[in-house]
Amino acid sequence: MVSIIMGSQSDLPIMQQAADFLKSLEIPYELTVVSAHRTPERMFDFAKSAKNRGVKVIIAGAGGAAHLPGMVASCTTLPVIGVPILSSNSIDGWDSVLSILQMPSGIPVATVALNGATNAGILAAKILGSSDEEISAKLEIYQLSLKEKVLSTIEEIKKEHPNSYD
């Protein structure tokens, strides 16, 4: 199971992308709000209990100072994927990106692009797929669909913009 957490409900439109991807592959997930600053006890309890609840990967989204992914990672041995979120009080998102990306040695957080929750969902699936053949097979189908999507656009573009490369 994957746990998707975020610092506040305002992060939901971004974090929904991870949930949507996991749902598309039929990977069980949970989604809730856990604030590092406003509900620190809840955050510690969440992080310390996640493994015993069957969670295998945590996706944590946060904006602004973005302490949630790193603080959760410091309390668990589970892999944590951080999603920096461009928030209303953000400095063009750089504060969130750097807060999640620049973790001290020993407390890694995998970090995806600003507002990149879809990639967080894909990365979580890949982590799970490394030991689950069913998930791995679904990921292969997904990746083939990406290839087919690109290839299907080539002839359409060629109609308007001829080129000699096939």
- Asked if residue 49 lies in contact with residue 71, where contact means CB atoms within 8 angstroms, the answer is no
**Cα–Cα dist 49/67, whole Å:** 19
Tell whether residue 11 is among the known ligand binding residues: yes
b/e per residue 70-81 (b: at least 16 CB within 10 A):
bbbbbbbebbbb
Which is nearest to 60 in space by CA: 87, 82, 84?
A: 82
Is 8 annotated among the ligand-binding residues? yes
For the sheet containing 2-6, what is the strand order? Answer: 29-33, 2-6, 57-63, 80-85, 110-111
Q: Annotated binding site for substrate: which residue ranges?
A: 8, 11, 38
Q: Please state the residue numbers annotated as binding site.
A: 8, 11, 38
